[in-house]
């Protein structure tokens, strides 16, 4: 699904965010973040619930005002004027904001009209999009009666009806089934292939890895790291990882562990779980023995193939399955 980033002749980033901050009362939802979005790329915000992903998007699309920092879209300063670049962007929010009482077709035509498209142009485009998204048969049914996957697809269609240069997608694959999620991913890729620059947020590490050219890890309103998928995975080449579960508190002996095995890295994720990393094969026997000497029994140990998940854990310090569990929970509750 991955493809070459289109090199634009214009080196200036399409979006430039500098020191952006947003507070709600005492809570700093977005905390002094900076990043750029290059022409032609798919850029992803990956982070757990409440990380500030939606809040960031809302500021970029002009639905929310930052407390400080600047936003530039296509060279226009949008910080004080949220309307300045709205004609260039399309938005697919996490919760659909189409009209339940209108049909799928009418919803699309209405959205086209909001961007000033002529009647013939929007009818033609709506029909084409309905076809591309496999919704032609549901075109004349009310949007309120659509299934979750259909709703998401129509919301994406509505976001691109005016052929925006930049498309924002807030959690495009959350809350829909596996098949629909795959379809949505394919749509995103092919949109990008035809030249649309994409900013998306997600809980799913796999989605970020599969779709994005570059990723920002965002946790508690802060960007922990931004880099290309390739660069993020680079340090993992030749890394060995082992996940160890034990009965007893490993945290108590973390210092002794580190000093006794200086060529291993120990990442203790909970009192009974840790990740061991090294640049060579890990000798489990030594570790088991060491723990036993400190009255801790190893209950499980397994080898792990280093992945984006490990990068996320090592950079953010939070356990990757927090992300996944949250995502699953959301999926189930919906």
Ligand X SMILES: Nc1ncnc2c1ncn2[C@@H]1O[C@H](COP(=O)(O)OP(=O)(O)OP(=O)(O)O)[C@@H](O)[C@H]1O
- List strands edge to edge, sheet with 297-304: 265-270, 273-278, 240-247, 297-304
Nearer to ligand X by Cβ, of 29 and 129: the residue is 29
Q: In whole angstroms, what is the distance from residue 117 CA to residue 106 CA? A: 14
- Going by their DSSP bridges, the two strands 197-202 and 214-219 should be labelled as unpaired
- Cβ closest to Mg ion, residue 51 vs residue 109: 51
Q: Pick between residue 135 and residue 188 the one whose CB is nearest to Mg ion.
A: 188
CB of 54 to Mg ion, least distance (A): 3
Residue 102 binds which entry of ligand X, other proteins, Mg ion, none, CB below 5-8 Å type-dependent = other proteins
Judged by beta carbon, residue 76 or residue 289, the one nearer other proteins is 76
What sign for the dihedral angle of Cα 100, 104, 106, 111?
Answer: positive
> What 3-state class would DSSP assign to 176?
coil
Listed ranges 48-56, 106-114, 126-134, 249-257: which one lies at the site for ligand X (CB under 6 A): 48-56
By the rule CB under 6 A, 27 interacts with ligand X: yes
Q: Which of residues 6-25 bind ligand X (CB under 6 A)?
A: 24
Q: Which of 314, 295, 294, 316 is nearest to 304 (CA)?
A: 314
Distance CA(182)–CA(106), nearest Å, equals 26
Judged by beta carbon, residue 53 or residue 122, the one nearer ligand X is: 53
Residues 67-126, interacting with ligand X (CB under 6 A): none
Residues within window 195-254 making contact with ligand X, judged by CB under 6 A: 203
The CA distance from 325 to 331, in Å, is 10
Cβ–Cβ < 8 Å for 205, 16: no
- Do residues 244 and 287 make contact, with C-beta atoms less than 8 angstroms apart? yes
Output the smallest distance, CB 176 to Mg ion, in A.
15
- Minimal distance, residue 169 CB to Mg ion, in Å: 11
Cα end-to-end distance, the chain, whole Å: 27
- Partners of residue 298 on adjacent β-strands: 246
Smallest gap from Cβ 49 to ligand X, in A, equals: 4
64 contacts 235 by C-beta, under 8 angstroms: no
**Interaction of residue 54 with Mg ion, rule CB under 5 A:** yes
User: Is residue 54 a contact residue for ligand X (CB under 6 A)?
Assistant: yes
Q: Residue 50 binds which one of Mg ion, ligand X, other proteins, none, with CB within 5 to 8 A depending on kind?
A: ligand X
| Interface ranges with Mg ion (CB under 5 A) | 53-54
| Interface ranges with ligand X (CB under 6 A) | 24, 27, 29, 47, 49-55, 203
């Amino acid at each position: 699904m991955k493809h070459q980033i289109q090199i634009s002749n214009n080196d200036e980033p399409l979006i430039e965010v500098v020191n952006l901050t947003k507070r709600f009362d005492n809570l700093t939802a977005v905390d002094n973040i900076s990043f750029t979005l290059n022409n032609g790329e798919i850029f992803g915000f990956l982070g757990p619930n409440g990380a500030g992903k939606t809040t960031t998007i809302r500021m970029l699309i002009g639905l929310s005002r930052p407390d400080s920092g600047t936003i530039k879209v296509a060279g226009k300063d949008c910080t004080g004027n949220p309307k300045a670049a709205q004609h260039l962007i399309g938005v697919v929010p996490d919760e659909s904001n189409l009209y339940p009482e209108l049909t799928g077709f009418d919803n699309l035509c209405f959205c086209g009209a909001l961007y000033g498209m002529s009647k013939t142009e929007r009818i033609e485009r709506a029909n084409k999009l309905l076809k591309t998204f496999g919704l032609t048969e549901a075109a004349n049914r009310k949007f309120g009666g659509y299934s979750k996957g259909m709703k998401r697809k129509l919301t994406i269609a509505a976001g691109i009806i005016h052929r925006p240069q930049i498309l924002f997608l807030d959690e495009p694959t959350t809350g829909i089934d596996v098949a629909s999620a795959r379809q949505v991913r394919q749509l995103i890729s092919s949109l990008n292939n035809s030249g649309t620059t994409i900013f998306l947020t997600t809980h799913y590490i796999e989605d970020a890895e599969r779709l994005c050219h570059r990723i920002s890890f965002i946790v508690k309103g802060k960007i922990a790291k931004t880099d290309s998928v390739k660069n993020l995975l680079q340090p993992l080449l030749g890394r060995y990882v082992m996940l160890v579960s034990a009965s007893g508190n490993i945290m108590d002996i973390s210092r002794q562990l580190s000093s006794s095995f200086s060529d291993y890295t120990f990442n203790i994720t909970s009192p009974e779980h840790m990740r061991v990393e090294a640049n060579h094969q890990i000798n489990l026997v030594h570790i088991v023995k060491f723990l036993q000497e400190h009255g801790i029994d190893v209950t499980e140990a397994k080898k792990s193939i280093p992945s984006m998940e490990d990068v996320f854990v090592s950079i953010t310090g939070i356990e990757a399955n927090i992300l996944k569990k949250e995502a699953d929970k959301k999926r189930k509750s919906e």
